[in-house]
Structure 1
Amino acid sequence: MTYDPMFPVTYSILDPAALLEEVRRSYPLPEPLEYRRLYLGVNDTYFLAAAGTPLILRAYRAQSRPPPRVAFELDLIERLVTTGVPVARPIHRSDGRYSTTLAAPEGGRELVLFEFAPGGPPLRDETAAERYGGALAALHTALDGLEPTPAAPMLDLRALLDCPLEQLTSVLTHRPADLAFLAEMADLVRSYVEANAAFLDWGACHGDFQWKNAHVDDAGTVTVFDLDGAGFGWRAHDLAVFRPLSGDAAIWSGFLRGYTRKRTLSQADLAAVPYFEAAIRLWSLGFFLEHRDSTAWGSDAVNDALFNREVALLRRWWPRLTAR
């Protein structure tokens, strides 16, 4: 019996000792180096400490995060740095570059070392929400005027609605009523966005502006990180990511207060938030399906229990959209 030299690989787990040696070769960091794997997922993230200084190391997926996509993220971060927005910055290698391409079995994987955002996760209260709102407003203002590049993801209706529905159609054949409901909701969102597109703020977005993707230090400064999901879309989408479907009214009010103190928010953008909340739930289902065979949660996590929860959530949300 003969074998191919390398069996096809979708996703590899990188050897910790080899990663540390790669970091030592590539970056002028003081010893000792300490290592801890934080999580494996769409990308793999590691905590490093160089002589006690905390750092974050990220290994991007070969298929979903090719070099141009990673370069787009790093370019956005550079823009934020130059405009004074607190953001976790990438660290230059000894040769001046930001990324290293690792020859993994599934293909080249980009490796980038970042500063650790000062502070830590805040107490999720109205004060912190106000600071987060101000941070997102500053980010949007800093990214105003940028034009999409070929590598820039588009957070448009195809990405938010069409692609997820295409994926769901193949797995919800046993739930025709739910599939029809999701398609109807997508049509409602599409109709609203298309009818109001001329009045909605469009530009470069963070893409995943959640509590967990920023830290707050003792002075109250919010430092943003994880722009892996960044792209060009409607800014109301970024606001909708922060506001969960079952969100707290006081926290949302604080967030809006912080945002509007630094940037104008039109009534059209504010009214669009619930529609983008629905779109995000639909997108999330497609995201789980897309990555179910190549991430830490596995295919068993994408099951009827997940669909039951998400569809029930959207059905409760439906009256708020149809009443507008």
Structure 2
Amino acid sequence: MFNQPTALRSVLNPKYLELVLSDQYDIGSWEECLFWLRGLNDTYRVRTSSGMYILRVYRTEITEADVQYELSLLSQLKGILGSSVHTDIGEYIEKKDHTGYTVLEAGEGKRVAVMFRYIEGIENNLEDEQSCYAFGQSAAELHKAMDQVVMEQPRYELDTKFLIDEPLERIINYIGEKNEASSFLHTFARELKERIGVASKLGLDKGLCHGDMHGNNNAFQQGNQFIHYDFEWAAKGWRAYDLAQVKARKRQSGEQKEVLWSALIAGYRSVRSFSTEDEQAVDLFIIARRFWVMGLDVAFIESDMGALDYGSDWLDSFVEEFRDTGIVQ
């Protein structure tokens, strides 16, 4: 992913989206299409005569095959989780022709658009033990449901190639082999990969993962249920990697983190198993996730972010963070 050059990412005009998409959905007459959030994808809030919806316009790197995979996964999960106590998912809206997406022409290339139901609820910041226990139950129910999903489309895996090798290549291409940080990053990546390899040989739980379970995509609560959405990174991987993203949440106070994490794991284990080896691997995958994030930063510099905020301070901050892990002595 992210290898092809692309033009600068545009923000598609809401009026254009309304003109192209309004007749494709049976959701009432459009009253407002508001550009809502610029993230990895672009999000629009759509209000119609029948209610509120969320329109996601994916970046050009996300292909039709990627979206087909995500929508197939969502369709299956919706059926499996139909009677779930703790867990639901963000549901996409079928078009009138019973397809799930539209390919739009943008200046930078083809972009896929999908309409989702608007998630009503409260964003739970997981700042108390009860909430963390309940979220752990929900995450386990989601993994249990994903064990029942049958995905036939080809897909990358959340393995060390995805988490370490490919990010390293992007980072080094950006900063240059002659940069004094390059040698350290090569060594760090090699050692991190070796440690994950050793941990993996202990029989870590693997299966379909959400892939981006950092909390903001999973912490909306309706009654006793947590609503999980943004499955664009879903793929087979280590479940410890999924949960690592929750443990690394920045919204929790430092002194409470271990207590809240223990509550979350207890909730998870009340639904499905999570071995001691899996739990011990979580901190390792927190580091791997940060390395992947560094590579993700680089992936969008030319087409989206611009280089100003990704210079020496950005590089030094990551290098210092990685040195502090003690992986490279």
Shorter-normalised TM range: 0.7 to 0.9
The one-letter amino acid paired with 1:262 is V
Deviation at 1:52, TM superposition (A): 6.3
Deviation at 1:130, TM superposition (A): 2.2
Contact 1:44 1:59 survives alignment (8 Å): yes
* 1:211-256 C-alpha deviation (Å, 9 max, x unpaired): 2102433523100011112111111110111111876222212221
Which of the numbers 131, 138, 142 marks the counterpart of 1:139? 142
Which consecutive aligned stretches of 4+ in structure 1 deviate over 4 angstroms post-superposition?
145-150, 173-177
* 1:40-63 C-alpha deviation (Å, 9 max, x unpaired): 23311111122362211001122x
Q: 1:11 to 1:218 in 2, by over 3 A?
A: closer
Q: 1:29 to 1:150 in 2, by over 3 A?
A: closer
What's the counterpart of residue 181 of structure 1? 184
Q: 1:209 to 1:105 in 2, by over 3 A?
A: same
TM-score normalised per structure 1? 0.88
What's the counterpart of residue 122 of structure 1? 124
Separation (CA, whole Å) in 2 of partners of 1:177 and 1:139: 43
What's the counterpart of residue 155 of structure 2? 152
Instruction: Give structure 1 stretches of 5+ with no counterpart.
Output: 1-7
Contact 1:240 1:276 survives alignment (8 Å): yes
Separation (CA, whole Å) in 2 of partners of 1:218 and 1:139: 16
- Equivalenced residue count is 312
What's the counterpart of residue 71 of structure 1? 68
Give the match's secondary structure for 1:200. coil
Q: 1:123 to 1:200 in 2, by over 3 A?
A: closer
1:249 and 2:258 equivalent?
Answer: yes
Give the match's secondary structure for 1:211. coil
Contact 1:117 1:225 survives alignment (8 Å): no
* 1:160-197 C-alpha deviation (Å, 9 max, x unpaired): 11111112223344885533333333223222222232
What's the counterpart of residue 167 of structure 2? 164
Contact 2:22 2:29 survives alignment (8 Å): no
Q: 1:22 to 1:130 in 2, by over 3 A?
A: farther
Deviation at 1:279, TM superposition (A): 0.8
Instruction: Give structure 2 stretches of 5+ with no counterpart.
Output: 1-5, 82-86
Contact 1:119 1:215 survives alignment (8 Å): no
The one-letter amino acid paired with 1:317 is T
Contact 2:159 2:237 survives alignment (8 Å): yes
What's the counterpart of residue 211 of structure 1? 215
Separation (CA, whole Å) in 2 of partners of 1:309 and 1:197: 29
Give the match's secondary structure for 2:71. helix
* 1:91-127 C-alpha deviation (Å, 9 max, x unpaired): 0101111101112233321110001223031143123
What's the counterpart of residue 4 of structure 1? none
1:294 and 2:294 equivalent?
Answer: no
Q: 1:33 to 1:281 in 2, by over 3 A?
A: same
Which of the numbers 274, 278, 283 marks the counterpart of 1:269? 278
Give the match's secondary structure for 1:214. coil
- RMSD over aligned CA atoms reads 2.4
The one-letter amino acid paired with 1:281 is R
Separation (CA, whole Å) in 2 of partners of 1:52 and 1:303: 47
Q: 1:218 to 1:25 in 2, by over 3 A?
A: closer
Give the match's secondary structure for 1:288. helix
Deviation at 1:271, TM superposition (A): 1.1
Separation (CA, whole Å) in 2 of partners of 1:30 and 1:236: 42
1:1-324 counterparts in 2 under 5 A? 9-51=7-49, 53-62=51-60, 64-84=61-81, 85-126=87-128, 127-144=130-147, 146=149, 149-173=152-176, 178-198=181-201, 199-217=203-221, 219-244=223-248, 248-295=257-304, 297-318=305-326
Separation (CA, whole Å) in 2 of partners of 1:150 and 1:208: 20
Separation (CA, whole Å) in 2 of partners of 1:166 and 1:104: 28
Separation (CA, whole Å) in 2 of partners of 1:100 and 1:170: 34
Contact 2:122 2:222 survives alignment (8 Å): no
Separation (CA, whole Å) in 2 of partners of 1:219 and 1:299: 43
Contact 1:87 1:117 survives alignment (8 Å): no
Contact 1:102 1:109 survives alignment (8 Å): yes
What's the counterpart of residue 3 of structure 1? none
More deviation in 193-202 or 245-254?
245-254
Separation (CA, whole Å) in 1 of partners of 2:300 and 2:150: 29
What's the counterpart of residue 3 of structure 2? none
User: What percentage of residue pairs aligned between the two structures are identical?
Assistant: 27
Deviation at 1:274, TM superposition (A): 1.3
Contact 1:167 1:286 survives alignment (8 Å): yes
